[in-house]
Structure formats: C-alpha cells, structure tokens
Structure 1
Amino acid sequence: MAWVGGALYFVMVALLVWGAPRASGTVHAVGSLLAVSLLVGVLRRMPLLALAMTLLGATAVVVGPPSAAYASLSVSYQGQFLSYLAVDLVLGFIVATRTRRASIVVVGVSLTVQALVIGGFAHGDNLIVNGVIALLATAASCTVGLLSRERREHAVALRSQEVAEAVTAERLRIARELHDMVAHSIGIIAIQAGVGSRVIQTQPAEAREALRAIETTSRQTLSGLRRTLVALRQADPGTAASGHAPLEPSPGLADIERLAAATADAGVRVDVRRSGEQRPLPADIDLSAYRIVQEALTNVIRHAGTGRCRVAIDYGNDELTVEVVDDGRGATENGSSHGFGIVGMRERVGLLHGHLSAGPRPEGGFRVMARLPLPEPVEAPAEVR
C-alpha cells in the first residue's frame, strides 16, 4: 500500500503539471498538499525517501511543463511556490522522529533546493517575498517538529521515572515483608536454640520443647517465604495453573494471639488487649498492623531484656490504633539497635497515610504506637418498598 500511494502521488503531480497548466498557483499548492497525503505509508517506513519524492513533486509543480507559452507566464504565478508547504510538512515529521544530525542534513538540502528554484523563477520583490516565506515556513515546520520531539522525549523520561519509582517501591515492599517476617522468626529460633543447647543434658523435656518451637517457627517462616515468592512470580501466566496447592492467606490482626504464643515460647509473655468494635479491615491495613506488632515484638525479644510486654489494639470509628509497650531497658545509647525495623514501620504507616511514634518511655521501657486511618464504611442502600 505504501508503494501504491507513492505511485498515485506521482500521478497526482502529473495531473497538476500537465492537466491544469494554466491554473493559479494557489490551486497547484492546494493540490500538492492533498497529494502528499498519499505518501503517509512511505513516510512512516522511509521518511527520507518520502522527502525526496515530495521535493521532486513540488519542484515539478513549481517549474511546470517545458512549454514556452507557460514559461512566459510562470513569473506572474508567485503562489506556485506555496507547493513547497508539502515539503515542509514532511520536513517537520523528519525533525520530530529522526536524529538531530539527519534533521540538519535534510533541512539544509530542502532549503538549498527551494532557494535554487525560487532564485531561478522569481525576480525583484517577488524573489525576496518568496524567499522569506520559504524560510519562515521551514522554520515553523522545524519548530513544530522539535517541540513534538521534546514532548515525546519528556513523556518517555516520565515513563522511565515512573517505572524506576515503581521498581524501587516494590523492592522496598519486599524488603519490609522479608525483614518483618524473617527477623521475628530468626529471633525466636536463636533464643530457642540457645535454651535447647543449655538444657539438653539436664532437662531433655525442655530441650524437646525448644526444638518443637524451632520446628513450628521454621515451618511458618518457610510458608511465608513461599507465599512471598509465589506473589512475585504471579506475572507468569502459567503460575496460576501450575497445580500448586493453595497458599495460606496473609496474616492479620486475627493472628495476633498465635504471634503472642510464639513470642511467649521465646521467653516474653504478651498481654493482648482489644477494644472497640472488632470488624473486618482492608487487607493492606490488616497486614500492616500485624507486621508492625510483629516487628515491635521482635525488638522486645532482641533488645528489651524483659519478660513481658503489652499489645493494645483499638478499633476506632476513624482509625485503628496499635500499641506495643514494654518495661525493658528502652533504646540503646546509639539508638541504632533496631536496624531497619522502625524504618520499615514508618514506611508502612506512611503508605497508609497514618502516624507512627516510637521511642523510650519516661518511666522506662519502650513504646511503639501506630495510628492507621480507616476508610469510611459503605452503607447498604435502603430497600425501596
């Protein structure tokens, strides 16, 4: 179809040159603009060839048939040079889509051809007027092409930035999820392994209990890791149909008691208190609240040096409040013992537009409190009778 359009373009040019030799220059210019639409296919595939064809066709329309009768009248038809507006349209497309070096070359060639033709067929004031019009038309087409190029490059840069930000956000999410899940489990396993190694000779029952806690915690951690890895591979269309057994749902506040039991096995008794109207929560809020409590309990196990703590969960009308308080030794001197834990908490709360406070208490110990805004409940429409 592209080559058919190119052939029809030359047929159209021939009709303008030999079919209507005495028509006004404006008619020839409009005909050239209509004819260049036939070169759309060639322009998309080979824009430089399309420019050469347009230059040849516009020049043929301007010069006209080689007859003495028409040559004597060509000077008076100054609108004839407007046929080069078709060349300027193709030139603007090339400037917008090709490299700067190629654009400079084609602009130079186009201006040279137009200058030679105008200089040969226009005289006096008409020479200056047509030269200025040709120069302004070329400058306008190049300006539009440059603006189109900059806009496209800006859009590409924005898309690249959005992709980079999305990748970074996903990496941070995976890092938070792995840290909150693995750090808590490894902390419990390390404590239970230490207890088991100390009492394995003198208290075999206690050693077996420690090994049982290590096994349970390890299985839960492997299940969580598998769930995370499967979620990362869900972009593969064959994953859903691979025949794997369905995974356990993500943890939430309903699993706090089980988390407290695992923490108690590690030597820290957890007093869980709930207040307010307990109700289902959005999945992201439920998971984030659970991870915040999990990370806070991990810090209690690793850093507080105490045997008890308190977890308070308040289901408010507008926000969910989660608080973890211990009476241990609080923050260390350099304040860096919690590593990425509190950083991850702040990121989770920030993504939900909530507020987190974490720091030592005046009366001793450490306190972590997160306030997570809750969406307004959707009321069921009243039944119409």
Structure 2
Amino acid sequence: MEDQSKNTGASAISTEAMLQRFLLISRAVAGQLDFQSLIQKVSEEVGFFLPHDHIDVCILTGEGDMHVAYEARLHTGWGDAPEPVPISVSPIRSILRGKEDFILTEDAQLDERFHFDGAFSDPIFDARLRSRLHVPLQVEGKVIGALSYSCHARGVYNDSHVTIAQYVADLLSSYIHALNQGERARKAAIRQAEIHAHAEGLRAGALRLTEALELERQRIGMDLHDQTLADLTRLNHELRRLRQTPKIPGDALHAVTDRLEGCLQELRGIIEDARPSVLKLFGFEQGIEALLDRAVASQERPIEVEFADETVGAGNRLQETLQIALFRITQEAVNNAIKHADASRIYVSLSEGGGNLCLSVSDDGRGLTHGDTDHLGGIENMRTRATLISADFSIEPCQNMPGTRVRVTLPVASAAPSAITEPEREDAYLDS
C-alpha cells in the first residue's frame, strides 16, 4: 500500500453502497455493551471504505484532563495503558480540546504535530504506523472523544476519507456517549457502595467499641466493688475497732497504713487503666515505655520488651485523641502478645516516612491460629480505633520467624524516612 494514490478508494464507492454500510455499522454496534466490543465491530464494518491496520476510539473520562483508548486490529501502548492518560500528552490533544476539526497526516513518523516534549507518541512509532486520520466524537457540540484510523503505508488517506470518517464518528457518538454515561454511573454506584460500606463498617465498629467500653466500665465497677471498696470497708471496721482501744499498738497502726497504701495503689491502677494520664504528664514515648514496664512487671515468667522511637518526638506532637488511640492499640497488642501468644520478647517501634507515621508492635509468640478466637474482639477493637483516626491497620505474621506484627499507619505531615527501616530493627531484635 506504499504511496497509495489519494484519489482512489472512498470516492469510488457508490452512495447506495455506502448507505448500506452505514446501516450495517449501526446494527452491529447497537447491541454492544462495552467499548472494546464496539470498536471491534466498527473495525469489521468500516474496512469497506476506510482501510486501516489499526483503529481506536479515544474517550474523555470526565474526571479531570484524562482520557482512555480502546483498540482493534493492531494493539499498541495506548490501549494497554492501565490508567487514564492526561490529554496534555496525547498526540491528538488539539482534537480532544476542540481546537481542530480533524488531523490528517501522510506520515506521523515525520509530522511535527506528533513530536513534542512529553508526547505519548511512542505507541505510534513502535507500531510503525504512518498514515493517520483522526476525527472528533461530538454530542450536542461538545467533544467527548475521537475516532482514529492508521495504516503502516504512507499517504493512504485523503479529504474524502475525512468526510466518511466524520460520518462514522457522528453515527457512533450517541452510542459511545450512552456507554460512557453508563460506565460513569456504574463507577459512581461502586464508589457510593464503597462509601456506604465504609460508613456501615465505621458504625458497626463504633458500636462494637461502645459495647467494649461498656464492658470495661462494668469491669472497673466490679474491681472497685470487689477490691478497693471491700478493702476500704475492712479498713473502716479496723479503724473503728482501734478507736475503741485505750492504747493503740504501733504494729496495728503500721498494718492499717500498709493496707491503706495498698488500696491507694490499686485505685491508681484502676484510674490509669481508665485514662492514661501518663501521656499528659510525660508524653507519648515515655507513656509507651511505662505501659511496657507495667505489662511485664506482674508476669511470673521473664519477658523482654523494647521501645524504639525512630522519629524526633513525632508521637509527642500528635493530638491527644491520636495519642490515646495509638496508646490503646499498643496496650491491646501487648496484652494479646503476653496473654494469648506466650511471647518472650515484644518490640514496639515508632517510625515515619513518606508522609506517614507507623506504629508497630511485634512479638515472638506462637502467632495467630485459625482456632484461636479468644482475642478476636480485641483485634476488632484495635481495627476500629485505627479506622476512627483514619489510619490503616494490619495484623500479620512476622517475616521469616514465628510471631505476630500489628501495624498502624497514620498519615501525617511529610517527614524524612528513617535511616534504618522499622521491620529490619524488629526482626533483628526478635531474632537476637
């Protein structure tokens, strides 16, 4: 087809034959429900008067300055692009922006219109496409995309081909517009469903968390009633008895004082569990260290703990609500590691990078098992707390060793990445 004459082809086709072909095109595309099937049918029918080695339909997405392409016959990087491509890099951007009525070139390899900084023209050149014809797709005077034909040979298309190509484009525009609107409606419905599911998940999570808080309040009430209140009642009886004694023995006073100090200590522990005042008094980092010390102090078996702050005090700069949420997630993860995983080492780290703050709790315990459901409620509480502060939550096996890693990633202001990554530090500690 090299150097094919511009005066042959379309002009030699009778009006009746062309009308019949247009009717065939209309019937062929009427039942298509997706762009790829539509452009395939068009390619099968238009070859009668528009020769091509490649045909594509380019469609504006309606989401910013972006477009997508669907191809038939020869496939190129245009149709293979996984995401919409900016119009600004398209070789036919002048048509998509309504600045030209058509583009006709004898050889795209040499045409300056296809060569500019950042142009996404490599698919044309890689496929060795030379003759090119592009016309707009329009609905109510508004450009919604473009229809393009290409051949490997030079000089295939002429002005009569432009006229026919525009007729075909006008015929297809309404179908393509309807498909495009349907695709947008489908994507909008999916987004709405995702938003609804997210909101429903938040509602259910908040409900679970509320129930857990109510159970916690009941536990605190039982602790106060069964421990502190009972001890204080016994102390009150003891003091009344001593008050009736003419001479109070010194050892009796010491015993009462010791028991009173024990009650106060129990009460402080209950209050601290209800509200981590250590965060307000000493900051996030020292609060986590105090949490770890308290968690292992009452254990009969030895448990090694370490907290590594790889930030420059980023935890202390968080809002109080964020600090409390991260503190509670750490508390739950540490308790699970001790009570359910039989961990002997627990590593907590705070790192930042890529605009995110990452809190990680790793242990060398027996890990998660399918039959272990004792602490699933605690995991859901951690997940809900993370969701309520717009953080990502994950719980997974440690890399290359037994144990579990809980990770919370919270978007924050841009921060420089740490010199050593948090997983490397964790694995080195747990494996030592």
Structures share a fold, TM > 0.5? Answer: no
Q: Which TM class, normalised by the smaller chain length?
A: 0.3 to 0.5
Q: TM-score, normalised by structure 1?
A: 0.37
Identify the structure with the greater strand proportion: 2
Q: TM-score, normalised by structure 2?
A: 0.33
Q: Which has the larger radius of gyration?
A: 1
